[in-house]
């Protein structure tokens, strides 16, 4: 596996909309934000085709968009910069200040502006809850998995598919599109369907999309053969732990001359001291027993690999219990913790004072770690659009 281009795919931004005029949720699917990941485009097209063929009476609407069009057309992850970065507020402000038509402008600037415009339009015109599903594939082999911000709604959505969930990736990579949607209070998850060219990958994506439509109650019960979709995914998932969390990201630059050791798959268990990769400083070893995630076997990208560990379901129950009790509202009473005066959803923590309740505790309470702000750590609440509350009640 090298940085060579995968099959090029000429597509338009609008992959399709399926809308029978019935009120309900909006499912927004983005495929190919990385241009060497065309499997998602094929999958969402297959789902749209089937909806049309069977004339299924969808509640709400399915909107499918293609991500990085010029990168898809050349079969490369991106042309000038990774389009799945740069969705943080400061990065979007900088984007707005640049002229996408200026000579030498990144081709991704124009792509991102168009996508942002469509995202905003979809949110503005939504009459019910909105879910965003971002379809990806990876350069390593391994089972499919989901990446999501750990809100209760997101977790329910993810668990409904039976595909393993990887938590915490949005805290380690800066400004993925998932983060933008999470900040808008939208249900949001990324699906890693499998290796780019693996024959099962498109089917994995399709199965997840059908199960999401079912979970959102957008189709009448029985119209999706959900048992077959579940069986398909269960076979692909095998014995993978149901929920893992990222504990470390190994960031790289071109100057590092990073080379992943061959043979790692997603969820590959490694023991402390195992050599994972090499760079110009020598071997890179696992700091503890853990699982390897997203090892880089392609030329483009600034994530060398991630390390993860399984999360026991017990802690997830504790977390939702704490949130139901309203404890997150009380954290600003703790020493060394105060609310950000400019943003009620963010709290600032002085790590010198609040040494004993660290990142893990804030995670349990539903906070997401932001960047450092000087000597302080900033944590933000994950929140939901009020419309999302209608999802669990079967109002659709
Ligand atoms: Zn991707």
Q: In the chain, what are the domain boundaries?
A: 14-237, 326-382
**Sign of the CA dihedral running 316, 319, 321, 324:** negative
CA of 162 to the centre of ligand 1 (A): 21
| pLDDT of residue 320 exceeding 80 | no
Q: Residue 96, CB half-sphere, CA atoms under 13 Å: how many?
A: 9
Q: Give the integer Cα–Cα distance in Å for 132 and 113.
A: 18
Summary mean pLDDT of the chain = 86
CA of 376 to the centre of ligand 1 (A): 32
The residue ranking higher by pLDDT, 301 or 231, is 231
Within 186-343, residue ranges assigned H as helices are 201-215, 226-237, 313-324
CA of 267 to the centre of ligand 1 (A): 17
What is the Cα 240 distance to its own chain's centre? 19
Q: Is 245 left (phi over 0), alpha (psi -120 to 50) or beta?
A: beta
Q: What is the mean pLDDT of residues 18-29?
A: 96
CA of 388 to the centre of ligand 1 (A): 26
- Among 92-96, 303-307, 392-396, name the one with the lowest average pLDDT: 392-396
Task: Please give the backbone phi and psi of residue 154, each rounded to the nearest 5 degrees, phi first.
Answer: -65, -40
Cα–Cα distances (Å) from 3 to 108, 116, 283, 296, in that order, read 19, 28, 22, 10
| pLDDT of residue 3 exceeding 50 | no
| Tokens representing residue 385 in the block | 């659009």
**Sign of the CA dihedral running 87, 81, 73, 145:** negative
CA of 34 to the centre of ligand 1 (A): 5
CA of 284 to the centre of ligand 1 (A): 24
pLDDT of residue 168: 80
CB 177 within 8 A of CB 84: yes
CA of 66 to the centre of ligand 1 (A): 13
Give burial (CB, 10 Å; 0-12/13-18/19+) of 385: middle
What is the Cα 181 distance to its own chain's centre? 10
CA of 106 to the centre of ligand 1 (A): 19
CB 137 within 8 A of CB 144: no
| Tokens representing residue 358 in the block | 């660290």
Q: Of all residues in the chain, what percent carry a pLDDT higher than 90? A: 57
| pTM score | 0.82
CA of 33 to the centre of ligand 1 (A): 7
Fold of 14-237: Aminopeptidase (3.40.630)
CA of 192 to the centre of ligand 1 (A): 7
CA of 145 to the centre of ligand 1 (A): 12
pLDDT of residue 314: 59
| pLDDT of residue 335 exceeding 90 | no
CA of 373 to the centre of ligand 1 (A): 29
pLDDT of residue 63: 98
pLDDT of residue 41: 98
| Segment 199-245, tens digit of pLDDT | 999 999 999 999 999 999 999 988 888 999 999 999 999 989 888 98
* CA–CA–CA angle 273, 145, 153 (5° rounding): 120
Q: Give the integer Cα–Cα distance in Å for 225 and 202.
A: 17
pLDDT of residue 332: 62
pLDDT-derived band at 175, boundaries 50, 70, 90: confident
CA of 136 to the centre of ligand 1 (A): 4
CA of 37 to the centre of ligand 1 (A): 6
CA of 246 to the centre of ligand 1 (A): 17
CA of 249 to the centre of ligand 1 (A): 16
């Amino acid at each position: 596996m090298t940085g060579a281009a995968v099959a090029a795919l000429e597509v338009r931004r609008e992959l399709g909309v399926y809308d029978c005029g019935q009120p309900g949720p909006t499912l927004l699917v983005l495929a190919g934000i990385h241009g060497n990941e065309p499997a998602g485009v094929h999958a969402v097209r297959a789902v749209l085709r089937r909806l049309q063929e069977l004339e299924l009476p969808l509640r709400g609407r399915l909107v499918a968009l293609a991500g990085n069009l010029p990168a898809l057309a050349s079969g490369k992850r991106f042309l000038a910069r990774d389009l799945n970065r740069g969705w943080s507020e400061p990065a979007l402000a900088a984007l707005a200040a640049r002229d996408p038509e200026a000579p030498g402008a990144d081709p991704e600037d124009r792509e991102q502006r168009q996508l942002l415009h469509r995202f905003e339009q979809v949110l503005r015109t939504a009459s019910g809850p909105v879910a965003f599903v971002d379809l990806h594939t990876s350069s390593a082999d391994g089972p499919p998995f989901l990446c999501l911000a750990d809100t209760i709604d997101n977790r329910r959505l993810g668990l409904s598919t039976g595909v393993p969930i990887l938590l915490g990736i949005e805290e380690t990579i800066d400004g993925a599109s998932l983060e933008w949607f999470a900040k808008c209070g939208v249900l949001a998850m990324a699906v890693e369907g499998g290796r780019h060219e693996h024959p099962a990958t498109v089917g994995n994506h399709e199965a997840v999309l059908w199960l999401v439509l079912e979970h959102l109650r957008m189709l009448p019960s029985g119209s999706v053969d959900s048992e077959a979709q579940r069986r398909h995914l269960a076979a692909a998932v095998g014995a993978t732990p149901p929920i893992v969390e990222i504990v470390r990201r190994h960031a790289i630059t071109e100057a590092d001359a990073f080379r992943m050791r061959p043979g790692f798959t997603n969820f590959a268990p490694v023991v402390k001291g195992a050599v994972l990769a090499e760079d110009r400083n020598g071997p890179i070893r696992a700091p503890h027993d853990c699982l390897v995630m997203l090892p880089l076997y392609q030329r483009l990208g600034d994530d060398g690999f991630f390390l993860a560990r399984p999360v026991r379901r017990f802690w997830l129950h504790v977390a939702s219990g704490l949130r139901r009790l309203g404890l997150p509202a009380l954290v600003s009473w703790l020493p060394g913790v105060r609310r950000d005066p400019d943003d009620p959803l963010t709290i600032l923590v002085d790590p010198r004072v609040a040494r004993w309740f660290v990142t893990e505790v804030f995670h349990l309470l539903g906070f997401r770690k932001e960047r450092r702000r000087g000597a302080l750590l900033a944590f933000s609440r994950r929140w939901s659009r009020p419309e999302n509350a209608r999802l669990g009640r079967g109002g659709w």
